[in-house]
A = this chain, B = another copy of it.
Amino acid sequence: MPKIVDHEERRREIANVALDLIANAGTSAVTFRGVAEASGWSAGVIGHYFKNRHDLLFAALTRAAELSGEHQRSIANTFEGRQALEWILEEELPVDNRRLALARIFVFYYAEAGTDPAVRQEIDKYLRRWRRQTEIAVKQAQALGDLDPTLSPATVAADLVAYADGLSIQALFNDDLMSRIRKSSPIREWVDLLRPQSNSR
Contacts and interface: CB of A to CB of B under 8 A. Distances in A.
A132 interface: no
A26 B115 contact: yes
A158 interface: yes
A172 B108 contact: no
Q: Which of A108, A111, A164, A177 has the most CB of B within 10 A?
A: A111
Q: Which of A115, A120, A170, A190 has the most CB of B within 10 A?
A: A170
- Could you say which interface size class chain A belongs to? 35 or more
A28 interface: yes
B162 A170 contact: yes
Nearest to A165: B166
Contacts of A27: 114-115
Given A164-B166, A166-B163, A166-B166, A173 B127 contact: yes
A165 B161 contact: no
Q: Which of A112, A158, A161, A164 has the most CB of B within 10 A?
A: A158
Interface of A: 26-28, 104, 107-115, 120, 123-124, 127-128, 148, 155, 158-159, 161-167, 169-170, 172-174, 177, 180, 186, 189-190, 193-194, 197, 200-201
Closest 9 CB pairs of A and B: A166-B166, A111-B111, A162-B166, A165-B166, A163-B163, A193-B193, A162-B167, A26-B114, A28-B115
Given A28-B114, A111-B111, A193-B193, 20 more contacts: A26-B114, A27-B114, A104-B114, A107-B111, A108-B114, A110-B111, A110-B169, A111-B112, A124-B173, A127-B170, A127-B173, A155-B186, A159-B167, A162-B167, A163-B163, A165-B169, A166-B166, A169-B169, A197-B200, A197-B201
